[in-house]
Amino acid sequence: MSLQETYTSLGLSDFEYDRILELLGRAPNHLELSLFSVMWSEHCGYKNSRPLLKRFPNSGARVVQGPGENAGVVEVGEGWALAFKVESHNHPSAVEPYEGAATGVGGIVRDILAMGARPVALLDSLRFGPLGEEKNAYLFREVVRGIGGYGNAVGVPTVGGEVEFAPAYSSNPLVNAMCVGLIRTDDLVRSRATGVGNLVVLLGSKTGRDGIHGATFASDELTDESESKRSNVQVGDPFAEKMLIECCLRLHEEDLLVSLQDLGAAGITSSASEMAAKGGVGIEIDAQKVPLRESGLEPYEVVISESQERMLAVVEPDQAERVLKLAERYGLVGAVIGQVTDHGELRVKDGGEIVGSVPVEHLADAPICDREVLRPSYLDAVQRLDLAEIPRPDDYNEVLLEILSHPNLCSRRSIFEQYDHEVGADTVVAPGADAAVMRIKSTNLGFAVTTDGRGRHCYLDPRGGGGATVAEAYRNLSCVGAEPVAITNCLNFGSPEKPEGYYQLSECIEGMAAACEALGTPVVSGNVSLYNETESGAVYPTPVVGMVGVLKDVGHYATPAYKREGDMVVVIGSGSRASLAGSDYLEVVHGRVAGRPPTPDLAAEKKVADLVREVIRSGLVDTAHDVSSGGVAVALAEMALTGGIGFEYSETELEMIGAEHALQTLFGERGASFLVAVPQERWDDLQNALSNVPYDEVGRTGGDRFRIGSLVGVSLQDLREAYERDLFGLPGGAEVTH
């Protein structure tokens, strides 16, 4: 193999190889080239996205730790803080879905653990191709199994998430995992290596060949050859992870750690070099001292292996024996594999021989790629939509049942029942609501968390869709009464080397950043997953937002379920007309992804959501749901089904709508809209509270039927049979034309 073939096979460009020569002043050996390969991959180095990420706001009143550490941290109150982050495991899940999803969960848990926090909640955000295709159904089934198999065993509840299906995700699933951890504000651990002469200790499982060059693999497009890269996918052991969690928290409790870092992408290489770069020091690693699962590993394989359930700690020499004894007590492997130095390099030894040495500042500073931006030509075609040409349905009952039974809108019960969401006994609002709610023991405090993504919207309007993604998360937290405080995000996009793809990334970030600023939800952590493409094309641009909110009194929350018969149901924030452009109705009923969805009105989003939150906190409202996918009709049906109580739409409201606007009012989509329910005796109180926002009384709860005048009249049983579908046995997904 020629020199060029060698470095290009490792994912390095000609420019990058020349840059390495310039930085080192010499040719790198194979080990050093491997170090650069993994650290300068997009997965580790963010070389395509770093300039764009600067657009995000990062500071806020509750922010304790922003980007730059293993996870972001926000203050909750009474000395408590939350550490949280979301990351992708898309490429591994495409070729080995069970292990890819499982190790995605394991990796995000260790990111939280590295901050010194106890992981207390997991969520996910998933995308697959239509379930009617056998491979997509297989990927979906195995990914969900992997998430449940790892999360349930590791003892962290999976409390929420979302999933959607579209042809754009065929053979390239998106598997994003989020974790939230709880910690005392004063007890945070950072990953900065300090103290020349301090020891580097590897804790957890033994090291094998699994995951070698996984970071490079995750920074390339998926092709028919990707199946041959199964060895790039790590293998997880959740029981070892559980022991690792308890061991690291015990080490932290006994104040035995100088710093701590998880071993994820690029293994020892990324952890050691990042710790050293942050501390302005060097680190030496002896490959012979790393406990191995199998014999015959070369030093370069040892330091870039992505074997799971491992953490890297820096400890003072006189504490090393205690650290190793605790590791043994928890059934883990512990070994001193190196030390902190003052030479500023990541130096790899094989016994006493130095086999590679690179300045950590070079490894941690991947060269920025200057990419061309070009508005995709497809936007002109897909945004053209004459709404007047959309025919009114002959049978609204049939339309409602068809939409409710679609894989994108039907019940997720068949998924979340595979996850343990009650372990730890702190789950207040379980999966199935707008957001999960968790209590903080021995306090009145709680927190809420949600994940949201709007890939179709971002495909049709990247900037508007980016803003709408943040706004939807803000609404979902407000629906349960939580004050949204910060977000983490995972940016799932196609190749940045294609100008049209880079346009989507840039515009979505711009829309998200504007929404974060308007709503006061800074970005404190995140992940970028690019090159989500197959030979058939790129996935929808799919930024996923994980948002965290705070409840000062966890006893005051709302859920979507109708609680009582005779309640008044009100839509709040109905000032803007709903639109069928880019709607689920248009896709499900007419098989079209087209139009330009309404641009989010961020000022209205904040005003209305803040008001809804206040009426929940005051105890006036205990039933709330946002109007989103499927429009008002679907949201009302979901509330009826969740509560097991029927609903009748107001005849007066129907007359005001008029027959010509009924379709878009019922099934059109818009932002800044909520549905709430209150008892008749509290109606005056609610009207007084809503005096500064538009609202309409849309109906009353009661009975066992769901009625919208003469348009819809179905029993709750019929609704339930449509909605409660087993996604694992469904041939589904509309044939969509682009």
Treating both helix axes as pointing N-terminal to C-terminal, what angle do 499-519 and 462-479 enclose, rounded to 10 degrees? 40
CB-CB contact of 129 with 161 (8 Å)? no
Treating both helix axes as pointing N-terminal to C-terminal, what angle do 134-154 and 238-253 enclose, rounded to 10 degrees? 40
CB-CB contact of 585 with 408 (8 Å)? no
Q: Which two tokens stand for residue 567?
A: 């309640």
Q: Which two tokens stand for residue 601?
A: 């009105």
From 89, 213, 362, 406, active-site residue: 89
Angle, alpha carbons 538-628-52 (nearest 5°): 45
Alpha helices, DSSP H, located in 209-330 = 214-217, 238-253, 267-279, 299-304, 320-329
List of residues 6+ apart from 71 with CB closer than 8 A: 65, 83, 84, 85, 111, 112, 114, 115, 117, 179, 181, 488, 525
SS3 readout for 1-61: CCHHHHHHHCCCCHHHHHHHHHHHCCCCCHHHHHHHHHHCCHHHHCCCCHHHHCCCCCCCC
| C-alpha–C-alpha distance, residues 368 and 344, integer Å | 22
Token pair 């909110």 is found at 549
CB-CB contact of 713 with 643 (8 Å)? no
Angle, alpha carbons 478-603-373 (nearest 5°): 105
| C-alpha–C-alpha distance, residues 506 and 690, integer Å | 38
| C-alpha–C-alpha distance, residues 223 and 335, integer Å | 39
Of the candidates 674, 694, 544, the one whose C-alpha atom is nearest the C-alpha of residue 87 is 544
| C-alpha–C-alpha distance, residues 652 and 575, integer Å | 18
CB-CB contact of 554 with 482 (8 Å)? no
DSSP 100-133: HHHHHHHHHHHHHHTTTPEEEEEEEEEEES-TTS
415-420, long-range: CB < 8 A, 24+ apart: 415/144, 415/161, 415/163, 415/727, 416/158, 416/161, 418/144, 418/145, 418/148, 419/147, 419/148, 419/151, 419/152, 419/157, 419/158, 420/148, 420/151, 420/152, 420/157, 420/158
CB-CB contact of 76 with 440 (8 Å)? yes
> Which whole-number Å values give the CA distances from 586 to 245, 402, 405, 527, 589, in the listed order?
47, 12, 15, 32, 6
Exposure string over 258-271, b if 16+ CB within 10 A, otherwise e: bbbbbbbbbbbbbb
From 43, 213, 421, 625, active-site residue: 43
Q: Is 457 a catalytic residue?
A: no
CB-CB contact of 516 with 522 (8 Å)? yes
CB-CB contact of 571 with 627 (8 Å)? yes
Q: Is 43 a catalytic residue?
A: yes
| Phi, psi (deg, nearest 5) at residue 181 | -125, 155
| C-alpha–C-alpha distance, residues 566 and 679, integer Å | 7
Phi-psi region of 519 (alpha: psi -120 to 50; beta: other; left: phi over 0): alpha
Exposure string over 149-158, b if 16+ CB within 10 A, otherwise e: bbbbbbbbbb
Q: Which residues are catalytic?
A: 43, 89
